[in-house]
Amino acid sequence: MGLNLNEKKAVVAEVSAQVADAQTIAIAEYRGIAVSHMTVLRRKARESGVYLRVLKNTLVRRAVADTPFAGLSDQMVGPLIYSISGDPVAAAKVLNDFAKTNDKLVLKAGVFAGNVLDKAGLQALASIPSREELLARLLGVMQAPVSGFAGCLAALAKQREEAAA
């Protein structure tokens, strides 16, 4: 049974709200995926803060019209699952990671920073470390000189103690 007009408006409003805060949208075909596998994909998306949903293509076209994601409309054909996130990498990463273990999920296209990406572009985007990983690396780089300096001070103090004794 199809959606009535009010339900369609509610879906368009919900997707529009997600798109307004999004930096990335990724789409993939999901033909033949078992419900249990789809549940795993949804759980991973939730953990990553990604809005993941199977939607009618016409409703998503209306939601992304007049946004930086409008260029994706040409790719919205067939049974698609939509991955939308405010994190630039998370939407692509969730779908790409799942596609590596499940050949029935086929990456199709995406949009990042107003640019339409093909499958290879989505995979490249997904290979970029997440924000948290980059912050952890930055913290490690910032701590390295401090810990090195502390090690030098400790060695110097030990050397002076030995010289005094």
What is the pLDDT averaged over residues 45-63? 92
What is the pLDDT averaged over residues 21-30? 92
pTM, entire model: 0.77
Q: Is the same domain home to 29 and 96? A: yes
Q: Is the same domain home to 31 and 77? A: yes
pLDDT at 94 over 60: yes
Q: Are strands 24-29 and 51-54 parallel, antiparallel or unpaired?
A: unpaired
Q: Is the same domain home to 84 and 152? A: no
pLDDT at 1 over 60: no
Residue 140: both structure tokens together: 């490690």
b (16+ CB within 10 A) / e for 24-51? bbbbbbbeebeeebbeebbebbeebebb
Residue 90: both structure tokens together: 């998370």
Which among 89, 83, 90, 86 has a CA at the least distance from the CA of 105? Answer: 83
With cut-offs at 50, 70 and 90, classify the pLDDT of residue 26.
very high
Range of the domain at 152: 131-165
Q: What is the pLDDT of residues 110-129, one digit of tens each?
A: 999 888 999 898 888 888 87
Q: Is the same domain home to 25 and 46? A: yes
Q: How far apart are CA 106 and CA 77, in angstroms?
A: 13
Q: Is the same domain home to 22 and 52? A: yes
As a residue count, the chain comes to 165
Lowest mean pLDDT among 47-56, 62-71, 79-88, 137-146: 137-146
